[in-house]
Amino acid sequence: MDLEIMNFRKGSVVVNSKMKFAKKVPYNITEAVHCVLEEFCSAAKNLQIQIDTHSLDIEPADQADPCKFLACDEFSRCTVNRRTKEAQCVCQPGFLSVDGLPCQSVCAIQPDYCRGGECHIVPGHGAVCRYKDSFSLPGLAS
């Protein structure tokens, strides 16, 4: 069995995780997982970590919304891979993720993006360069 911590969300400490089993498991495994997590919560008390067992939310993967617990940032949106059914955060136009970090403006990541022009992000369209009194997209004639 593998337990993957997917992310932490704002609020009290909220941990989103995914559990994968090496072998096929019975459909009612949800109850068993809940019991294991309750045991984990009890053991955490020895480390002076309080976990509210009533806050545990367990869903079978085939019934869960893959984007429900994925904490995409304000410059990305959740998409689901049709083949693998895995959710991932995809940056909006004009934003990039470098080394798995949250999405950042192309203008900030690549200061020379406009090659002498002024870079702006137009929501829904991406990076636009301004040269003197005109706008153009990089790589296109203005």
Confirm whether 79 is domain-assigned: no
CA distance 41 to 74: 32
Cα 50 from chain centroid (whole Å)? 26
Q: What is the pTM of this model?
A: 0.55
| Residue 15: domain span | 1-62
- What total number of domains does the chain contain? 1
Confirm whether 80 is domain-assigned: no
Confirm whether 48 is domain-assigned: yes
Which residue is associated with the tokens 């997209």? 137
Confirm whether 16 is domain-assigned: yes
Per-residue pLDDT of 78-119, as tens digits, reads 998 888 778 889 999 999 998 888 899 999 999 899 988 899
Confirm whether 95 is domain-assigned: no
Confirm whether 115 is domain-assigned: no
Tokens of 80: 């689901």
For residue 66, the 8-state DSSP code is T
Confirm whether 22 is domain-assigned: yes
Judged on CB neighbours under 10 Å (0-12, 13-18, 19+), 67 is: middle
Between 24 and 100, whose confidence is greater?
Answer: 100
CA distances from 93 to 18, 63, 104 (A): 29, 31, 11
Confirm whether 125 is domain-assigned: no
